[in-house]
Structure 1
């Protein structure tokens, strides 16, 4: 009976999204789909970006990391907050370095900067690396949430995982097909609201069940070692400086150099409003991430008090919410979960469609196609993106990793590194490429070298393990490779 109620909630939620999509996509065109006609409200964009950035990974995986054991059997505790501190630094770079650049050049696709600065080969390489990066990252996030729905709801009805995935991707395709960014700005706002409500209700529910005030709860978390933030062991992958710097560079690349995230920012009327959006969003993100860690610690306290034991990871929150908490909270959890699910994919699908149409098919330069023809091609591309998402999610399901946040950070280190190197070379040097056709080779070689370096680092460096800083190394190697392909500009 409960499963039927929960499924009904999912369907009702989707119908609500369709209503919002219908109202926001009327009179839309290709410009509406790509950048919302540059009329988006900065406050809505800032609030909606919280849901996009947090997604199902933060909602499920971050609380699970608190009690998960790291090297030596020690709980990871609030160690993830080291990365969050780095996020804040990265958002400042985006607001005051990248956004003014994008607005000054009036970009629809941010990768057109590479074409202007470094030429056609760099432009195509950057766009293709974004397509690869965002496809892997978005599908990993989406897999996490679909897997929870499958395990705790649909398996008992015998619904295959592939069918669940097809239905959910079909839902997302329906409400993003026409309006694109213009619609997503509003649907993300709605979804962020429900997700944050689920977070707050979760904290309040556990505090009430354990009969703890805020001060008592913090003392209990501290007593179990969950409030530890900083790791001072230099050899550890979680060493504080590595985590902060890695978080900063991850933000610059996965937000500032990512078409999905920047597509919403450059849909705002002016660079000043876009900067206000970014800084407001960054401060709220820090607070919300901290609250998710507190929720994670409370989940482990609840499990211990009720005699349940978890090794840690992505399963603890859904397991408790759907099997140990009240039926009312289970409904709240499912609403919050699907609110985390859809932003994981709708913006990514739209951004990938935009990038492919603008950067690969060259919509803005084609004079042989009218708007109606472009619209049809754009819809076809959008459908193809959904099919690619389906295939990637099925692969993640086959691999079945239990802590998907680590997978996403690892993928980001390899696929976003070349983007970091390309943009850094273009922005911080005045050199021109002498051998532009070598750019794709450099951008492929750099991640391969990083993979080998990561594998042998404990042997070469006395037990030192490369962690989140691999992204920086990857970007640096790309930068060096581009430098070797370049020369001083001719006077």
Structure 2
């Protein structure tokens, strides 16, 4: 694919995003940026969230990971469905009742100011890392497809990519994101469907044969019952539930979109319909993975050492212009959809939770824009650092990191919702810091200490459990009124 064609695709796509930004950011204020004035149609939010949740990680890593762990990732996604039900039935009513802008404001009401800062800080750390990992994938593909041809270094590619995202989000915020996510989800799903069609055409398969090829492949095995395996069904299913609750229900990035719906009922409908669409979309990506590996083996193409490289390699070099174009549109859509909402959520959380912007004197809009710029720069440096040290499948890395950084958040909210006990607020941040360290030690030594048992995504539950034990230890007796 010629660099000029790649540039034209990127420029055309970005022009559409800028047009949406222009129309959605007119007369925008802080309420528009943070909550979209709570006027978003629920079906628009649900559809757009598919693209944001799938992200570049799903788009590239999930098809590639099929060669390493078959369809066992689907066990995790089954747990996701249960997690989304909990979000819709438990968390959505709570957040709408409290009329929150940032969901971490709940922690201030429940525990105190120190707990509030601790929860918000862990989100800021978690989201910065997760969003940077996802955007790294997109920048890597753009580097291969376009910037390498001109000898442009990777850090410049990252700077350009994240700069484009900043341009169309800095004014309209979450209102712009709700609409751009709709466009990006459309391109993302079209990309996977057209990719499957192109592969089937290259393999000269009849439409009726595709299901048989996928279902009969050994790579389509879903369930792993080995209790020591990190992809064991029960571990993956439970982790899917609680990682969904932590990374979506307790994540300002995702919940900020839900809180733009007109009312609680609309937000709940959004979650249920989104979760069904997300499950179907994941099945499509796993099917694509089986077809990619089969095509490579049939054609004698060497499988890349890194599974993340398989889809880009075949789409850009083997399947022709159409496949290359839709792949680029898909990865750009996936990356922008997750990174733009993350940047907006990080800005919102820092402004509301850390700066308490509504009580600040002076130009609040200017303060918000400076924070937006600050997080843009921070994500740039995290991506560059990750590029220097990355040596594993990104899909595993993202959720592994989340197990350590979202654990304290899950523990805080679980303790707050399941008990009525007050705590010694000033010591809560220390508990939230110690819990991940203990979890890391357990994870590193699990095989040696627990007869070969290896932690998978369920390390999140261990982390949250340690946090809750620490909170119980901080119990503060209520004063007795005489």
TM-score range, shorter chain: over 0.9
Which TM-score applies when normalising by structure 2?
Answer: 0.97
Q: Which residue of 2 aligns with 1:261?
A: 254
Q: Displacement of 1:156 after TM fit? A: 2.2
CA distance in 2, matches of 1:173, 1:3: 24
Q: Which residue of 2 aligns with 1:425?
A: 415
Residue 337 of structure 1 and its aligned partner are, at CA, apart by 1.3
Instruction: Compare 255-264 and 306-315 and name the one that shifted more.
Output: 306-315
Secondary structure of the equivalent of 1:430?
coil
CA distance in 2, matches of 1:488, 1:290: 50
Which of 376, 386, 390 is equivalent to 1:400? 390
Superposed CA offset, 1:387-435 (max 9, x none): 00000000111013341111101110000000000000111100001x2
1:382 aligns with 2:375: no
C-alpha displacement at 1:24, in angstroms? 0.6
Confirm whether residue 439 of structure 1 aligns to residue 419 of structure 2: no
Alpha-carbon spacing, 1:6–1:486, altered in 2? closer, same or farther (3 Å)? same
Instruction: Find 2:337's aligned residue among 343, 347, 352.
Output: 343
Deviation at 1:220, TM superposition (A): 2.8
Is the 1:2–1:327 Cα contact (8 Å) retained in structure 2? no
Match of 2:470 in 1: 481
**Match status 1:35 vs 2:35:** yes
Residue 451 (structure 1) aligns with: 440
- Structure 1 residues 319-366: Cα deviation after superposition (integer angstroms, max 9, x where no partner): 000000111221111111111110121000000000000001101233
Query: Gaps spanning 5+ residues in structure 1: where?
Result: 69-75
Q: Distance in 1 between matches of 2:137 and 2:158?
A: 11
1:233 aligns with one of 226, 250, 258: 226
SS at structure 1 position matched to 2:220:
coil
* Mapped contact 1:430–1:489 kept (Cα < 8 A): no
Q: Report the Cα offset of residue 488 of structure 1.
A: 4.8
2:67 counterpart SS class = coil
Question: Structure 1 segments of 4 or more deviating over 6 A?
Answer: none
| Counterpart for residue 10 of structure 2 | 10
Q: 1:72 aligns to what? A: none
Structure 2 segments unaligned to the other structure (5+ residues): none
Aligned-pair RMSD on alpha carbons?
Answer: 1.2
Whole-Å separation in 1 of the counterparts to 2:412 and 2:46: 27
Find the aligned partners of 2:432 and 2:422 in 1 and give their Cα distance: 17
For residues 10-409 of structure 1, the aligned pairs below 5 Å read: 10-68=10-68, 76-310=69-303, 311=305, 313-366=307-360, 368-369=361-362, 373-409=363-399
Tell me if the contact between 1:49 and 1:188 (Cα under 8 Å) persists in the aligned partners: yes
Give 1:123 deviation, angstroms: 0.3
Deviation per residue, 1:163-195 (Å, 9 max, x gap): 111111111111001000010100010001011
Length-normalised TM-score, structure 1: 0.96
- Deviations, residues 356-378 of structure 1 (Å, cap 9, x unaligned): 00001101233x33xxx000010
- 2:253–2:346 CA contact under 8 A, matched in 1: yes
Contact preservation (8 Å) 1:25, 1:183: yes
Distance in 2 (CA, whole Å) between partners of 1:459 and 1:333 is 43
**Separation (CA, whole Å) in 2 of partners of 1:249 and 1:209:** 41
Q: Contact 2:315–2:327 (CA<8 Å) still a contact in 1? A: yes
Contact 2:76/2:237 (CA < 8 Å) preserved in 1?
yes
SS in 2 for 1:315: helix
* Secondary structure at the counterpart of residue 230 of structure 2: coil
Q: Distance in 1 between matches of 2:431 and 2:146?
A: 46
| Structure 1 residue 223 displacement after superposition | 4.2
Q: Any idea what SS the aligned residue of 1:401 has?
A: coil
Q: 1: distance between equivalents of 2:55 and 2:407?
A: 22
CA distance in 1, matches of 2:163, 2:127: 19
